[in-house]
A and B are shown apart, each in its own frame.
Chain A
Amino acid sequence: MDLIWDGVTEALDLIFSGNSYVYEVTFTSLLVSGSATLIALALGLSIASFLAFRAPPGRTLALSAFNAGMALPPVAVGLLVSIMLWRTGPLGQLHLLYSREAIVIAQAVIATPVIAALSTAALQGLNPNLRLQVLALGASPWQAALLLFREARLSLLAAAMAGFGAAISEVGATIMVGGNIKGSTRTLTSAIVLEVQQGDFETAIALSFILLAVILVIVALFTVLQQRRIPD
């Protein structure tokens, strides 16, 4: 218990003392996971719209793949992205390995199936005639998609939260493709792993509390947005 209590007090101390290391890894975490979530949202919502509204042949197969993708092992994703970004890999000439961009790519690969699968289910849950009604009201395909996203916002925001959660809590792929370089690719999760390896459990616990606090604040913001209702 003492260890946890010490971790909490150190977390408060790190936050309020203006420790630049903590602010830097927190900023890196938010930057890469936020970017990865935005990319995953764009890809996931596009895939979900296509699968839900166009009902292409092989939809069930594709959905099965995305559902399975929700359980994608991050280490395997890290390995795959690393191979792609190696100097001799297909994307080697981009020189992205051990950069923040590499972490964004890996986290986006992890979050996209989560958002795609949950968003497809959300859009399929809408009344099928609602899309026809929106088009009949004179919506262009883009306008129709935005209106339908608004109608499914409860479930779509839940999908976004799940995607963000998968991205920011990820560590295996982050270390593999980012290299855990201080001042560049070190995130909250990779910093926690490092502190544990170095035996500095108090700092590790402190960083864990900061990570939890960041997740709580962001998810709370999403939830407020999600639960905003028009009074009856």
Chain B
Amino acid sequence: MIPSLVHLQDILVWRARHSVLDVPSLDVLPNEVLAVIGPNGAGKSTLLRVISLLERPSRGNVHFAGQPVSGSLLRHRRRMALVFQEPLLLDTTVEGNVCTGLSLRGVRGDEQRRRADEWLARFGIAGLRRRSARSLSGGEAQRTSLARAMVLEPELLLLDEPFASLDAPTRESLIDDLDTVLTANRVATVFVTHDRAEALRLGDRIAVLMSGKLRQLGSPADVFSSPVDGEVAAFVGVETIVPGRIRDAASGLAAVEVDGKIIETASELAPGSDVLVCLRPEDVVLSEAGSATPSSARNHLRATVKRVRPAGPYVRVELDAGFTIVAHVTKQSVEDLGIEPGTDTLATFKATAVHLIPHRRA
């Protein structure tokens, strides 16, 4: 087992008589990028402040490199670097900002400049070194903030939604650059975001935080394909979440009844079990109602289109198949199939695309 760089033990943070963070245990492993996702107010930033030793938990301990953090917090803080959503630059030049942490550590001037040169170049802002930080664009400012953190050569990098306030093209290019840096340097990173796509892109593991509690922790595939409950499923982008009951199960294949329709899925749950049936919208394929194209998919449901609306690069189609199914299809498919409210269609999905969550009916 790999020893963790950071271990949170029995962390509880109370504010105004409410628990805002309750994490019995969480490890950050060396070299990994741990993406922490969750809705606004889930406690993500509080978690980051606890890890960065900027907030003392009401209860519990933070262990860094195998040792419980005690005594001088400054000594431990100087092994980490934190980047906020806002760049929070000081009123000096870009180079002055990048050198601030080094200066606080008493690093010599020539060494400061050498290290600053390297990181200014790596984040593509070497030409801005003499510019006032106040005159930078949002993207340039966040690049400066990231360079200011990385120049410290931290053992642990903490990122608190660093791309949230950037426009889409700037965000894309900065995520690319950060990905390159993290891949090359393999610095252990905790990356807080509410954006699932960012988490999938950068995270080696994903932690889902909701209402201050750690609800799921695992690989991106685990979290996105096998969420542990309905709330997590909804947050990670599962749009079809309906209650059902297993009618039959044999050889690892289960038949689940959902509002009178049978859905086949891979499951070891016993017949009679109540479940939530989860299906990601990108796993649903639509075809003409009368078509019978052979495929390996085990589920083919006749459905009527209820609603069609654009969803970024896709079109979100809501279907009534006796229960509601949501599919994401391309604009071209919508045109080719003549999809509009009231038309009949055939919704097809594989048994392996269906995820079941044991569920107790109210």
Contact = CB atoms under 8 A, between A and B. Distances in A.
Interface of A: 127, 129-130, 132-140, 143, 147, 150-151, 229-232
Given A230-B92, A230-B132, A140 B100 contact: no
B148 interface: yes
A136 B53 CA distance: 8
A49 to B, nearest CB: 17
Interface stretch (B79-87, B111-119, B224-232, B336-344): B79-87
Contacts of A130: 88
A137 B104 contact: yes
Given A137-B148, A147-B90, A230-B93, 20 more contacts: A129-B86, A130-B88, A132-B49, A132-B54, A132-B82, A133-B84, A133-B88, A136-B80, A137-B101, A138-B74, A138-B78, A138-B101, A138-B104, A138-B152, A150-B90, A151-B91, A230-B91, A230-B132, A232-B131, A232-B134
Nearest to B79: A138
B74 A129 contact: no
Contact of A139 (B84, B92, B104): B104
B49 A135 contact: no
A139 B78 CA distance: 8
B132 A136 contact: no
B105 interface: yes
Q: Which secondary structure dominates chain B's binding surface? A: mixed
A157 to B, nearest CB: 13
B133 to A, nearest CB: 8
Given A129-B84, A143-B104, A230-B91, A135 B77 contact: yes
Interface in B50-78: 52, 54, 74, 77-78
A138 B90 CA distance: 14
Interface residues of B, number: 27
B135 A150 contact: no
Contacts of B84: 129, 132-133
Contacts of A139: 104
Contacts of B78: 138
A135 B49 CA distance: 11
A162 B120 CA distance: 41
Nearest to B145: A133
A140 B134 contact: no
17 contacts: A127-B88, A129-B86, A132-B84, A133-B84, A135-B54, A136-B54, A136-B77, A136-B82, A137-B100, A137-B152, A138-B101, A150-B90, A151-B91, A230-B91, A230-B92, A230-B93, A230-B132
State the 5 A-B residue pairs at the shortest beta-carbon distance, nearest first.
A136-B82, A232-B135, A230-B132, A137-B101, A133-B88
B52 to A, nearest CB: 6
A147 B31 CA distance: 32
